């Protein structure tokens, strides 16, 4: 009778029949003892474990168990704790995102719509016959003899940070203001009335409708004068005879609120012009035309990022002009050799430093220009 552990077909021939001979070391290596079989059995979770963790009813031995045959016991509530940890991480990430958004000066909330432009354009009538000659000679005998040429005459002041704006943001506001002055006062196509886009692209979008209406249907109503936005000569009256416009003036910046910077520009531009129908080669056909522009520009943080400006006010004096003409559409200079047809109530000197004298009416008298190196003549009281 076979005993447990005997081969199925009995003891092979040539091998001793004793138990000790059969259970030799060589043959024992392929026999599974009871301990091995018992350890290899699948283990089931208890009913309590399955209800608490919703785990699989049967678990296999994992490589992470370190080779131990002892099952890992699940802790009730572990999923709930993981969920709470996930919610906490999301809340912390959201709080960090909100803090970074509020602390980033480049991404502030909108500060509202830009104000419409309010402009005043005052023609200055000549008090004597307008001198004529070559541009270089006219400049040399005028107060503009020491002015710089073009954009070089628009100097930026030293920039310092304000309470709510960095030094870089202050520099940006000043440079945008300079760009506006260059495009609106010195661009040859803008001066001739052939282009407006170089100025338009520098304006806040809230002001573009007002700007477009001013260009298409100009009016002297204080809101829609072309010459409130830019310098333009009536192409039927005069053209620029020398592109080397003489410029002098100042820029000043101030923080008017936690979200707004304001730049005040005050510059005198002196142009050499000639009759639109005359010969460009005429040696003595030019005359000088002076424009004094005082602009107030504002910049919120969005404007600084987009490199644009809000033109709030413009006070402009320009001459020599006839006071009977409306300068809203474009300047019509009184040219070389001509005298005034009408005169205004008070003299105004566009070359005088400091705040320009604002006339009580809509016309002034152009004070006689003082040659460079001489004391200026004060305007009449």
Helix (H) or strand (E) holding 300: strand 287-300
At residue 323 the predicted structure's pLDDT band, cuts being 50, 70 and 90, is confident
Asked whether the predicted pLDDT for residue 107 surpasses 50, the reply is no
Within the chain, residue ranges assigned H as helices are 19-22, 25-28, 34-39, 47-53, 78-103, 135-140, 167-185, 188-191, 197-200, 208-216, 226-229, 301-306
Per-residue pLDDT, 329:
95
Q: Token pair for residue 45?
A: 């979770």
53, 65 Cβ separation under 8 angstroms: no
CA distance 3 to 19: 9
Find which of 61-65, 86-90, 127-131 is predicted with most confidence, using mean pLDDT.
127-131
Asked whether the predicted pLDDT for residue 88 surpasses 60, the reply is yes
CA distance 317 to 365: 10
At residue 376 the predicted structure's pLDDT band, cuts being 50, 70 and 90, is very low
Asked whether the predicted pLDDT for residue 125 surpasses 80, the reply is yes
Asked whether the predicted pLDDT for residue 380 surpasses 50, the reply is no
Residue bearing the bigger pLDDT, 194 or 79: 194
Asked whether the predicted pLDDT for residue 24 surpasses 70, the reply is no
Nearest to 228 by CA among 120, 123, 349, 105: 120
Tell me the residue length of the chain.
Answer: 381
Q: Please compute the mean of the pLDDT values over residues 335-342 and round it to a whole number.
A: 80
Per-residue pLDDT, 124:
93
At residue 33 the predicted structure's pLDDT band, cuts being 50, 70 and 90, is low
Per-residue pLDDT, 211:
98
Asked whether the predicted pLDDT for residue 66 surpasses 50, the reply is no
Q: Please compute the mean of the pLDDT values over residues 342-366 and round it to a whole number.
A: 65
CA distance 300 to 164: 11
270: Cβ contacts below 8 Å, ≥ 6 apart: 139, 142, 144, 147, 245, 246, 247, 288, 289, 290, 291
Residue bearing the bigger pLDDT, 205 or 93: 205
CA distance 96 to 135: 64
At residue 109 the predicted structure's pLDDT band, cuts being 50, 70 and 90, is very low
- Provide the total of helices (H) and of strands (E) in the chain, helices listed first: 12, 10
At residue 351 the predicted structure's pLDDT band, cuts being 50, 70 and 90, is confident
Could you please report the per-residue DSSP string of 92-156?
A: HHHHHHHHHHHH-TTSPPP--PPPPPEEEEEEEEESSPPP-B-HHHHHHTSGGGGPEEGGGG-PP
CA distance 283 to 330: 26
181, 228 Cβ separation under 8 angstroms: no
Q: What is the mean pLDDT of the chain?
A: 80
Does the predicted TM-score (pTM) go above 0.85?
no
Per-residue pLDDT, 114:
84
Report the Cα 323 to chain-centroid distance in Å. 40
CA distance 365 to 342: 9
Residue bearing the bigger pLDDT, 165 or 65: 165
At residue 41 the predicted structure's pLDDT band, cuts being 50, 70 and 90, is low
């Amino acid at each position: 009778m076979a005993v447990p552990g005997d081969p199925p077909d009995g003891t092979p021939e040539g091998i001793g029949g004793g138990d000790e001979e059969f259970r030799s070391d060589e043959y024992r290596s392929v026999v599974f003892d009871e301990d091995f079989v018992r350890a290899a059995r699948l283990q089931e979770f208890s009913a309590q474990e399955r209800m608490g963790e919703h785990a699989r009813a049967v678990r296999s031995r994992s490589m992470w168990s370190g080779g131990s045959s002892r099952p890992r016991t699940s802790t009730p509530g572990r999923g709930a704790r993981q969920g709470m940890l996930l919610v906490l991480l999301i809340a912390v990430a959201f709080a960090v995102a909100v803090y970074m958004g509020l602390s980033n000066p480049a991404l502030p909330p909108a500060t509202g719509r830009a104000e419409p432009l309010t402009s005043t354009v005052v023609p200055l009538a000549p008090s004597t016959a307008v001198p004529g000659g070559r541009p270089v000679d006219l400049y040399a005998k005028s107060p503009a003899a020491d002015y710089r040429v073009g954009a070089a005459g628009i100097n930026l002041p030293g920039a310092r940070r304000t309470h709510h704006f960095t030094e870089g943001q202050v520099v940006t506001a000043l440079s945008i203001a300079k760009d506006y002055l260059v495009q609106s006062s010195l661009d040859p196509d803008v001066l001739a009335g052939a282009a407006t886009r170089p100025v338009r692209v520098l304006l806040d979008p809230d002001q573009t409708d007002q700007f477009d209406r001013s260009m298409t249907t100009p009016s002297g109503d204080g809101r829609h004068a072309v010459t409130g936005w830019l310098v333009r000569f009536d192409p039927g009256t005069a053209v620029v005879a020398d592109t080397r416009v003489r410029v002098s003036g100042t820029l000043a910046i101030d923080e008017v609120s936690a979200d707004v910077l304001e730049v005040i520009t005050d510059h005198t531009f002196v142009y050499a012009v000639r009759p639109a129908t005359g010969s460009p080669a005429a040696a003595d056909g030019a005359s000088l035309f002076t424009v004094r522009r005082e602009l107030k520009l504002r910049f919120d943080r969005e404007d600084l990022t987009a490199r644009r400006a809000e033109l709030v006010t413009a006070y402009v004096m320009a001459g020599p002009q006839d006071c009977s003409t409306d300068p809203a559409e474009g300047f019509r200079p009184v040219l070389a050799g001509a005298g005034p047809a009408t005169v205004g109530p008070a003299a105004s000197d566009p070359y005088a430093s400091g705040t320009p004298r604002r006339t009580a009416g809509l016309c002034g008298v152009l004070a006689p220009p003082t040659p460079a190196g001489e004391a200026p003549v004060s305007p009449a009281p």
